[in-house]
Chain A
Amino acid sequence: MSERSLDTFPRLLLQHAAVRPEHPAIREKDLGIWQSWTWSQVAVEVRALAGGLAELGFRRGDSLAIIGDNRPRLYWAMTAAQILGGIPVPMYQDAVAQELEYVLQDAGIRFAIAEDQEQVDKLIECRERSPGLEHIFYDDPRGLRHYSQAFLRSIDAVQELGRGRSAKQPDFIDSEIEQGKAGDVAIMLYTSGTTGKPKGVCITHSALINAARGGCGFDRLTADDEILSYLPMAWVGDNLFSYAQSLLAGFTVNCPESGETVMTDMREIGPTYYFAPPRVFENLLTQVMIRIEDAGAIKRGMFHYFMGVARRCGAEILAGKRVAAGERLLYALGNVLVYGPLRNVLGMSRVRVAYTAGAAIGPDLFRFYRSIGINLKQLYGSTETCAYVCLQKDGQIKLDTVGIPAPGVEVRIADSGEVLVKSAAMFKEYYKRPDATAETIDAEGYFHTGDAGFFDQDGQLKIIDRAKDVGKMANGALYAPNYIENKLKFFPHIREAVAFGHGRGMVCAFVNIDIGAVGNWAERRNIPYSGYTDLAQKPEVYALVRECVEKANAELALDPALCDSQVHRFLILHKELDPDDDELTRTRKVRRGFIAEKYGVLVDALYSGKTSQFIETQVKFEDGRSGKVSADLRIEDAKTYPPATARKAA
């Protein structure tokens, strides 16, 4: 088939089934054993599923909701819907019923595929209020034996219908694929909705394929690569890496057994291509550090010594820079004794390209992975731009930039400092929201990202904050809350931070401690605690956090533009910020405005000079029930530093 005709995902699938029929396309660990499906088997499965959907009345333009963990059948459902000219709408698997209901109604969804009983229960709940949902299909039958609803079917049953149909009408699927056009909407993803209701981002086959093609070329991805798919299917990155790029390059997608086994599965598969948001890298590092602290003195000593070596020269060696022969030798020894085994434990022995995005990554964290020989890079993008705007090129890695514009992408900085993007890998529109579409895509075709940033002298893009969040303090100094919060979050003991300061005389902050890291720290010091709320209010923990805040202040003091943003007062929240309580988005970004309103008393207490404040908060548990958490919160002052006069004078 010529390159030109490979312009939709179903056609890409047919091509792989023809060119590499025996190459593994997707794997899933089931009952402890990795089960593989080759490209030709996947084609057969997808055809059956598409046929079954058509039999049940799925028509061109219909949407198919997909909800669950990364499972082969759910990925197949995406292609099956696309074959029929329909639009898959993957949703976050931890979304509660109301959130699902909103999407189901907004997109007018009649068909939904769920992974298991948990998701089916939510969909059935939705169906009571949105009867538009006509069919629910499920992958895992466990616990569903006594569900007798007529609208509920297993995916196997749907495929059976499809096989029956293709016996009667053998050309049906091929003619459906023939009708598909590159300009058709291939997928609809709902934005996390930091502000307002979620919007459906419509992405065409051509846009997503363009993004995939650019990325595959940039990092030379081939059919022999392996990826572990464990990030939500509703997230644009998974659609790009595990779906679009896999279908373009023909590489193998591996679905972990369950969310808790990702680490083990990763070691077993040894992916060559890896993606994780910064928090995953952070959790991995925290786990490693905890285990090292528990290890024997010899191991611990060896680890710390060689990590020192890696810090000095590891990143330089990976970047191919000149390093003294003695250091090189030490690093080689460290590679045998520490870095190699460590990469193996992390499951990253074979990683050729690793990316992180979604939030700023701490410089120490970033350097740690690069220094032990993992080619970790950053990229920049959003749902609207198919996660494809800037990429870091091998050998040109910087800690605080997101790299150069990707092939085929034009990036411009507006006068306001906002980053504007134009490319062939751009979303078509917001579903049924021409007003919102017109607002973000200007007359010249540039997409307004809403991020503030600038190009450095090497032509690499540096993002500082959301454009609308960048504010001014009472004295007119620049205030970038995200920048401050990130500085705090880079400390392993701090999980989340929320800064306040726009229009105020000083910056204050809420802090969430990392229960794993601080819990371990407390155990080591024989500090007893009963749970998060208790631990968070320990004077020792406050001292620990104050130390972190003061270190961050010292760094901020060095930056002439941001030295006024030092955190004067802080408190540790009595509960962890949670997407279920609307405090974080599903992608775990803090909803600053909402938090400021919800915890108004605490903000007032921070600025009124009080040393403690009582608060009671409603919380939602995972099973949908709610309860209350209350505590008397301490508020403490942190030391601030005078602006670095030496640098100012220079």
Chain B
Amino acid sequence: MAVGLDSGKKIGGVVLGLEGITLSFGGVQALQDVSFDVREHEVRAIIGPNGAGKSSMLNVMNGFYQPQQGVIRFRGREHCWMRPHAAAAMGIARTFQNIALFKGMTVLDNIMVGRNLKMRCNFLLQALRLGPAMREEIEHRRAAEEIIDFLEIQHIRRTPVGRLPYGLQKRVELARALAMEPAVLLLDEPMAGMNLEEKQDMCRFVLEVNDHYGTTVVLIEHDMGVVMDISDRVVVLDYGRKISDGTPDEVRSDQAVIDAYLGVAH
């Protein structure tokens, strides 16, 4: 994959830190004492075999799940848990493994939903399309159009999402997340179920988002080629525990990781 976009990138300090996160559902331990951090402007991948706790980790990060133990540090502030709407307001956006878009709405409307948090006018002003609401609408529409242009989805602007092929729906979901202008973008398997060409497009978009908007990206991905190509650092989970953490090269040569992926007698 020809990627040469990160030439001007500067990775900053820790923006999101997770310490001793433990999460269980009844008797099932989903995450056990997992700690790692995410630095500003980096692309951070979370990998691991099925059931390793990757999606749970993402859900803890944006407040879908509340961990029993552990601390989440976001931009210097400590939280025992996040609430989804609070996480969103603080600048954490995400996409889902199983696309969660409004299928009956157009691409544009779905993206405008992502701007919702940024809108200041009250419901009445918006419903009556009064001056300030119109000005705000125009401003947000422009932001939405810039994202449409950025992700090259002009041709489906007015198409209901339900009529789009899977690969494009994934792109629309990314667009909606971007519309929040997030500081941290959580992507849950953005390339799952895609063909090679779609994967390459998606990689390009993720890297461009990272480069152009300076967005910090945390992503879960199964395709090792993709992960090793686009990530700055990788954390590996297995059975709810962190087994490795480091640059793609370090992780690739880590015996614990090889064992987890190829399987050894437990």
Give me the interface of A with B, judged by CB distance under 8 Å: 31-33, 142-143, 145-146, 257-258, 260-261, 264, 623
Contacts and interface: CB of A to CB of B under 8 A. Distances in A.
Contacts of B8: 145-146
Given A31-B142, A258-B155, 4 more contacts: A32-B141, A32-B154, A258-B154, A264-B157
Max count, chain B CB within 10 A of own CB: residue among A31, A33, A146: A31
Contacts of B223: none
Interface string B1-42: 010010110000000000000000000000000000000000
B154 A146 contact: no
B7 A32 contact: no
B78 interface: no
B145 interface: yes
B5 A146 contact: yes
A143 B208 contact: yes
Contact of A31 (B149, B155, B211): B149
The 9 closest A-B pairs by CB, nearest first: A260-B155, A31-B145, A32-B145, A261-B155, A146-B7, A146-B8, A257-B154, A261-B154, A258-B154
B146 interface: yes
B158 interface: yes
Contacts of B146: 31
A33 B142 CA distance: 10
B115 to A, nearest CB: 14
Contacts of A32: 141, 145, 148, 154, 157
Interface string B179-190: 000000000000
Contacts of A31: 142, 145-146, 148-149
A67 B70 CA distance: 57
Contacts of B141: 32
A264 B156 CA distance: 10
Contacts of A264: 155, 157-158
25 contacts: A31-B142, A31-B145, A31-B146, A31-B148, A31-B149, A32-B145, A32-B148, A32-B154, A33-B145, A143-B5, A143-B208, A145-B212, A146-B5, A146-B7, A146-B8, A257-B154, A258-B152, A258-B155, A260-B154, A260-B155, A261-B154, A264-B155, A264-B157, A264-B158, A623-B2
Contacts, number: 33
B142 to A, nearest CB: 6
Interface in B156-189: 157-158
Nearest to A31: B145
Contacts of B2: 623
A33 B149 CA distance: 12
Contacts of B154: 32, 257-258, 260-261
Contacts of B148: 31-32
B112 to A, nearest CB: 12
Interface string B197-211: 000000000001001
Nearest to B9: A146
Contacts of B7: 146
Contacts of A33: 145
Interface string B135-156: 0000001100110111010110
Contacts of A143: 5, 208
Nearest to B153: A260
Contacts of B157: 32, 264
A33 to B, nearest CB: 8
Contacts of A145: 8, 211-212
Interface in B233-249: none
B217 to A, nearest CB: 18
Contacts of B152: 258
Contacts of A261: 154-155
Nearest to A263: B155
A31 B148 CA distance: 8
A534 to B, nearest CB: 15
Nearest to B204: A143
A246 to B, nearest CB: 24
Contacts of B158: 264
A34 to B, nearest CB: 13
Nearest to B156: A260
A32 B138 CA distance: 12
B37 to A, nearest CB: 27
A259 to B, nearest CB: 9
Contacts of A623: 2
B71 to A, nearest CB: 37
Max count, chain A CB within 10 A of own CB: residue among B145, B149, B150, B212: B149
Nearest to A623: B2
A323 B158 CA distance: 42
Nearest to A624: B2
A148 to B, nearest CB: 9
Contacts of B142: 31
A63 to B, nearest CB: 30
Nearest to A29: B154
A145 B155 CA distance: 26
A460 to B, nearest CB: 40
Nearest to B8: A146
Contacts of A258: 152, 154-155
A229 B29 CA distance: 61
Contacts of A146: 5, 7-8
A260 B157 CA distance: 11
A146 B189 CA distance: 29
A620 B217 CA distance: 34
Nearest to A625: B2
Nearest to A262: B155
Nearest to B142: A31
A31 B138 CA distance: 12
B230 to A, nearest CB: 16
Contacts of B211: 145
B51 to A, nearest CB: 31
Contacts of B208: 143
Nearest to B7: A146
Contacts of B212: 145
B28 to A, nearest CB: 39
A142 B155 CA distance: 19
B163 to A, nearest CB: 12
Max count, chain B CB within 10 A of own CB: residue among A32, A143, A257, A261: A32
A33 B141 CA distance: 11
B86 to A, nearest CB: 32
A31 B208 CA distance: 18
A32 B157 CA distance: 9
B210 to A, nearest CB: 13
A143 B154 CA distance: 18
B200 to A, nearest CB: 8
A330 B56 CA distance: 65
A623 B200 CA distance: 11
A261 B145 CA distance: 14
A641 to B, nearest CB: 44
Nearest to B208: A143
Nearest to A140: B149
Contacts of B149: 31
